[in-house]
Amino acid sequence: MNRPLLEGWNNLLARRPDAPILHDVATGVPCTPSQLDDMAGRIRPMLPERAAGRIIAFRLPNSAGWVAAFLAILRSGGVAMPLDASLTSIQAADLAKEAGVERILEGDMEVARVVRLDEAARISRRLAVAKTTSGSTGRPKVCFFRECELAADGQNIIATMGIRPDDVNFGHIPFGHSYGLGNLIAPFFLQGTPLVAARASIPRVLWQEILDSGATVLPTVPDVVRALASLDLPRAPRLRRVISAGARLDPGVARRFLERHGRGVHNFLGTSETGAIAYDRKGHASLRGEAVGTPVEGVRLTVGRSARLWVESRAVFTHRNRNRVGGVGRFLLRDKVAMAPNGEVMLIGRSGRVIKIGGRRVDLGAFEQRCRRNPDIDDCLAIPLVEDRSFGALFVMRNASGRLAQWLRESFPAWMVPRTVRVVRRIPVDDRGKISVAAARELLSGQGERE
């Protein structure tokens, strides 16, 4: 069986057994490959004796313990299913049972306990990782990947973003999300790129950890970029690459970040099902707000019917994927795109966001795009209101919002003016940096807290 992650780990263990490779901010203690390997050995007895093909979930924060648990499960032949540390025990158990998980490892720095669920059947000995999607379009779902597919995603990212073995990857996004697996965990295992395990949620604290750790690469989300762009902070001289994914980055925020920190922000597009898709190599697209970049190395993109994007690469999941071609996975995104002459991918909306009001079709994505062209509007999110077959909209204003209602009436026919309008400080997002539709609905209903 092809085991590129384990092969990379074994090479690292042989070449640099005592070199500090993971800095856990929570403890302040650097870990070496030999220490992590010992920790993984202590976790192995907590796994099923015959783990091959069994799904084993673990719910841990970013830490040395997370890496050791992942390594232990890979070594056992089990299927590692990282769960959000933010989930409650009940939520984690419900999601795990639905996926056919036999047990969950929980704890902190070192796995402290095992939650045994019902005995589960083996899914496949060829699988290595189970990713959970963000659930932004409904309930979260689970996609299963071979180890070679996760490694292919990491190799595509390394080649496209120029992540080097001597970089220091700052890991504040969850390790177990698809973004974290591809940008942080895969380079760590494949080429020994040192990793900082961080958990800070306060922007000033996070920035200080970046300075203290000497981080050179920061994969993050637009909400964090926005916060860092607004603060008077010392520049991080070693930081050479800032990557933003998960949601749209406002070009005004990207420009403010560049002015304050002297570093452009590189847009990045990826999904749980496909891994990396497109990347803004020069950091120019984020300043224009028009595109998410060009296809990453090893990925082929084609625009299908209804302007939806087909993604084809060896990183796309193939298990129970009817669209695979040989050993290469294909997946059709819900995103609608246009391809610029220079090959850049431009997001123009999502399929399924057209609603009918009084027999007329309203494209909510097109409505948002039109609103964002107003120089007074920083961002906009339109949400269907199912109860009365209309829609509402959240607005982040760049300037005073006194004329917003008048501008909407003057710019759109009456049936395209949102029934409910709320001005907020920011569009709500979840811990993956993706738009939280549930929180947006609460804001529109007046139940949520307007920040």
**Residue 80 belongs to what H/E stretch?**
strand 79-83
Q: What is the 3-state secondary structure (H, E, C) of 40-76?
A: HHHHHHHCCCCCCCCEEEEECCCCHHHHHHHHHHHHH
How many beta carbons lie within 10 A of that of residue 72, not counting itself?
26
pLDDT of residue 438: 83
pLDDT beyond 80 at 411:
yes
pLDDT of residue 296: 97
Contacts (Cβ under 8 Å, ≥6 apart) of 220: 172, 173, 242, 243, 244, 433
Split at pLDDT 50, 70, 90, the class of 418 is very high
pLDDT digits (tens, 9 = 90+) for 271-292: 999 999 999 999 998 888 778 9
Average pLDDT over residues 156-183: 97
Lowest mean pLDDT among 27-31, 32-36, 298-302, 352-356: 352-356
Q: What is the mean pLDDT of the chain?
A: 87
pLDDT beyond 60 at 235:
yes
Q: Which residue has the higher pLDDT, 142 or 326?
A: 142
Question: What share of the chain in percent tops pLDDT 70?
Answer: 90
pLDDT of residue 389: 72
Split at pLDDT 50, 70, 90, the class of 350 is low
Lowest mean pLDDT among 22-36, 109-123, 359-373, 376-390: 109-123
Is the pTM higher than 0.85? The answer reads no
Q: Which domains does the chain have, with CATH numbers?
A: 4-347 (3.40.50.12780), 353-445 (3.30.300.30)
pLDDT beyond 50 at 450:
no
How many beta carbons lie within 10 A of that of residue 246, not counting itself?
26
Structure tokens at 72: 């232990």
Lowest mean pLDDT among 300-304, 352-356, 366-370: 352-356
pLDDT of residue 110: 47
Rounded Cα–Cα distance for residues 339 and 198 (Å): 36
pLDDT of residue 194: 98
How buried is 12 (Cβ within 10 angstroms: 0-12 exposed, 13-18 middle, 19+ buried)? Answer: buried
The position carrying tokens 């300075």 is 211
In sequence order, what DSSP letters do the residues of 156-225 get, joined into one string?
A: HHHHHHT--TT--EEE-S-TTSHHHIIIIIHHHHHH---EEE----SHHHHHHHHHHHT--EEEE-HHHH
Q: Which residue has the higher pLDDT, 180 or 100?
A: 180
Split at pLDDT 50, 70, 90, the class of 330 is very high
Average pLDDT over residues 348-371: 77
pLDDT digits (tens, 9 = 90+) for 173-231: 999 999 999 999 999 999 999 999 998 888 999 999 999 999 999 999 988 998 999 99
Average pLDDT over residues 246-263: 90
